[in-house]
Amino acid sequence: MVKGRNLTKAALSVAMCLGAAGSMATSSLAQSAQGHPQWPGKGDLFVGTNYQPVDRSTAQIRQDVAVMKQAGFNVVRMGDLSWDAFEPQEGQFTFEWFDAILDQMQAAGIRVVLDIPGEPAPTWLHKHYPGVDIVDQNGTRLDAATRYWDNISDPDYRRLAKRLADRMLQRYAKHPAVIAIGYDNEIGNGRMSYSAADRDRFVAWLQQRYGTIAALNKAWATQRWSRRINDWSEVDLPYERGPGPNERYLDLRRYWSDDTLGALKDLEAVRKQRAPDVPVLSNLWPYAGQKGFDFLRSWDEISTYGALGFYPGDPADAAVDVMFNRAGHTTPVWFNEFTAGGGGYYGTPGRSRMWAYFGLLYYSQAFLAWTFNSHLGGEEQALFGLIEHDDRPSWKVGEFARIAAEMKTLKTLGFPRTGRPDVAVAYSYQTNWLVNPPPGPNTMQEYYKADYRKQVGNAYFPFFRDNIDAATIDVGHDRLDTYKLIVMPTAYLVDRPTSDAIRAYVKNGGTVVMTGYSAKVDATGKWFDTPLPGGLTDVFGLRTNAFYRADTPLTVQFGTATLTGSDPYYEVLEPSTAQVLARFTNTGNPSPAITVNRYGKGRAIYLATAAQPEFIQPLIRSLYPSIGITPGPVTPDGVSARIVDGRTLYVNTTAKLAKVTINGRRTDALTGRTATGTVDLEPYGVALMR
Q: What is the pLDDT of residue 439?
A: 86
**Three-state DSSP class for 167?**
helix
Lowest mean pLDDT among 24-28, 82-86, 598-602: 24-28
**Three-state DSSP class for 78?**
strand
pLDDT beyond 80 at 31: no
Q: Which residue has the higher pLDDT, 545 or 447?
A: 447
Task: For 187-221, write each residue's pLDDT tens digit.
Answer: 999 999 999 999 999 999 999 999 999 999 999 99
Mean pLDDT of 46-75: 97
Mean pLDDT of 11-27: 37
Q: Which residue has the higher pLDDT, 588 or 333?
A: 333
Task: For 69-83, write each residue's pLDDT tens digit.
Answer: 999 999 999 999 999
Lowest mean pLDDT among 1-5, 194-198, 463-467, 488-492: 1-5
- The secondary structure element, H or E, covering residue 309 is strand 306-310
- Crossing angle of the two packed helices 9-19 and 196-210, in degrees rounded to 10: 50
Q: Where are the beta strands (DSSP E) in 468-541?
A: 470-473, 485-488, 511-515
Do the beta carbons of residue 298 and residue 21 sit within 8 Å?
A: yes
Q: What is the pLDDT of residue 113?
A: 97
Task: For 113-145, write each residue's pLDDT tens digit.
Answer: 999 999 999 999 999 999 999 999 999 999 999
Q: What is the pLDDT of residue 36?
A: 55
pLDDT band at 341 (very low <50, low <70, confident <90, very high): confident
Q: What is the pLDDT of residue 588?
A: 76
Mean pLDDT of 637-655: 97
d(CA 125, CA 117): 13
Task: For 413-472, write each residue's pLDDT tens digit.
Answer: 999 999 899 999 999 999 999 999 988 888 888 999 999 999 999 999 999 999 999 999
CB atoms closer than 10 angstroms to residue 379? 9
Closest alpha carbon to 148 in 184, 116, 199, 174 = 184
Q: What is the pLDDT of residue 19?
A: 38
Q: What is the pLDDT of residue 256?
A: 98
CA distances from 106 to 74, 94, 112, 175 (A): 10, 20, 8, 9
Mean pLDDT of 381-407: 94
- Contacts of residue 684, defined as CB under 8 A and 6 or more positions apart, other chains included, come to 350, 351, 353, 354, 652, 653, 654, 655
d(CA 324, CA 557): 33
pLDDT beyond 50 at 172: yes
